[in-house]
Chains A and B, each alone.
Chain A
Amino acid sequence: MSGALLEVRGLTKHYLGLAALDDVSYDVRQGEILGLIGPNGSGKSTSIDCISGFQRADFGAWSLDGQSLAGLAPYRIARAGLTRTFQTVRAYDQLSLLENLQVAAQQGDGAGWWQALMRSPGLRRREREAEERGRALLATVGLADHAGAPAAVLSYGQRKLLAIAASMMARPRVVVFDEPVAGVNPTMVRHIEAVIRRLNGDGVTFVVVEHNVDFILNLCHRVVVLESGRKIADGAPALIRSDPRVLAAYLGKSGAEAAAQSEGG
């Protein structure tokens, strides 16, 4: 084994006779930001749905720090240390921002049912810690002013920030972002990029799935490219930027040739 934090091997999923994922394998190394890109229908979202347990893979194995996650229910995978955000930006609308984060932290501190019911001192200490961490995270993403407001009042971009903060609360090993900058204005894109860098600086490993290729090439240490369910490239952003297969996938064969010519070979 390669010793990577998250290892994905041979991920395969068929859907109505088509291969949504076909023998996809990649590593995610400790402390890096891995980008996952590809044109529409390439299988990016399907692959993270599978590794986070929200869709069932037909074949494949994936493990976090040696612990196999294949076949586990989504909540078990989250407890093992892999959290994610959703393309449809989910939040608990009726709860306040802080409460949203407190829920996200709950499972991570290992307190049992009885402690929860009896509000043991240990539990109350953990709740206080979670509240402090929640407030700190809200400050990091820039939502500190709205800590007590119900999540329903947030704008679309702010909801994305809340989702990022929530994904961090349970002190995960790996966080997967599903299109974190889709549909937001350029200022917010830069802000989210800065937030992810900042969180990564604290030692958290990230996988970022995105359509916005520039965003990925700027932010990530390594990039994996999927097309029609298969991995076609895997390497540093500079290499990916000029990889002819990647260009072909995005621009079509003729477009790739044109781009190659303009790059000078």
Chain B
Amino acid sequence: MRSSARTTLAAIALVAVLFAAPQFYRSEYVLALGVSFATFAVLSGALNLVYGYTGLLSFAQVGFFGLGAYAAALLVTERDWSTWAAVAAGGVLAAAAGLAIGYSSLRLSRHAFAIVTLSFALLCMIVARDWVTLTRGAMGIPGLPVPVLGLPGGASWRLAKPLDFYYLLIGYAVLAHAVIYLVVSSRIGRAMRAIKLNEELAQSQGLDPLAHKLLAVTLSAFLTGVAGGWFVFYLTIVDPSVFDFYYTETMLIMVILGGPGSFWGVLASCAVLTVVPDLLRFTTDLRMVLYGFVLIIAMLVLPGGLGGWLERRRLARWRKAATRSRT
């Protein structure tokens, strides 16, 4: 199992670099970029789990993101919960929403699932804007308190500086990816891929498609909801813009360019797409237009993204070997 040991080593090295980086580049800009990367890494990783591995195109992710965010913020400001508990509860609420949406629409068809997830995300934004008594409407809830996290051993960590949030979010992103990796590299992940590749064949082999799909949706909803909770405490404000379609569009591009179903491909494309646009200083509108073109061209020409292209090359090598052995 040499390649698996190599992968582990590379992963550890990557995590070490991420944690050590701020010691060398202590600038607000780099820290903000890091937080953005970590957040989008969780968003795109979770979407990859649902879409890339299980084959379900879901637009609900941003809904879970914002739901977790609002829940965490409200529990802390209105009910005086500890930040740990509030963020976790936000994740659980998001997971419950995911379960409800998944169960009601997956039994029908993929078309229905796509439409329902889209409607859910849009509805969340509208409710956040209009249910003023609950969410304070378009103004949102500003001035979220500095989180004080109790650590094992009795110490407490006050997240007052951007550096603190950097470590928190990078740490969470690593944890989330570890969980995702644990699932997708297990036989559960293998089953999800089988269901995506050929659902009827998987059925005839005793695999329960609905159970696996619901697991993917619920887990990705939980991870995304928790990310939302941490993210708004970093911003110190939660408002309806946390449901912006911009998040959906960006995480979709990350997954598609990286290759749906490719764990490292998506992570790589997330890193590239977080850093490069900022380097190139595009205005947001033109960036979105560019993403739109990229999406169109990718769908017409290269639907598998980077991971898919690598996969096709691997297939071509096998094909050559197979024909050689037959002649």
Contact = CB atoms under 8 A, between A and B. Distances in A.
A and B: direct contact (Cβ < 8 Å)? yes
Contacts of B194: 92, 95, 103
B321 A149 contact: yes
A65 interface: no
B311 interface: yes
28 contacts: A73-B203, A75-B203, A75-B205, A75-B207, A83-B205, A90-B198, A90-B200, A90-B201, A92-B194, A102-B187, A102-B190, A103-B190, A103-B205, A106-B187, A106-B205, A106-B206, A113-B188, A116-B188, A117-B182, A145-B325, A146-B322, A149-B318, A149-B321, A150-B314, A152-B318, A152-B319, A154-B322, A169-B205
A84 interface: yes
B197 A106 contact: no
Nearest to A84: B204
Interface in A123-142: 123, 127
Contact of B206 (A75, A99, A102): A75
Q: Is the interface on chain A under 10, 10 to 19, 20 to 34, or 35 or more residues?
A: 35 or more
Contact of B204 (A86, A116, A150): A86
B190 A149 contact: no
Contacts of B202: 75, 103
Given A99-B190, A149-B318, A153-B318, A107 B182 contact: no
A74 B314 CA distance: 33
Interface of A: 52-54, 73-75, 78-79, 83-84, 86, 90-95, 99, 102-104, 106-108, 111, 113, 116-117, 119, 123, 127, 145-146, 149-150, 152-154, 166-167, 169-170
B168 interface: no
Q: Can you list the 6 inter-chain pairs with the closest CB atoms, starting with the nearest?
A: A107-B206, A78-B206, A90-B201, A74-B203, A79-B206, A153-B322
A93 B215 CA distance: 24
A240 to B, nearest CB: 28
A113 B189 CA distance: 11
Nearest to B190: A103
Interface of B: 182-183, 186-188, 190-191, 193-194, 197-198, 200-209, 215, 311, 314-315, 318-319, 321-322, 325
Nearest to A153: B322
Contact of A95 (B183, B188, B197): B197
Contacts of B186: 116-117, 119
Contact of A104 (B197, B205, B321): B205
A53 B321 CA distance: 39
B280 to A, nearest CB: 35
Given A117-B183, A150-B314, A153-B319, A92 B204 contact: no
A167 B205 CA distance: 7
Nearest to A105: B205
Contacts of B190: 99, 102-103, 106
Contacts of A53: 203
B207 A106 contact: yes
B188 A78 contact: no
A93 B197 contact: yes
Contacts of B311: 94
Contacts of A90: 198, 200-201
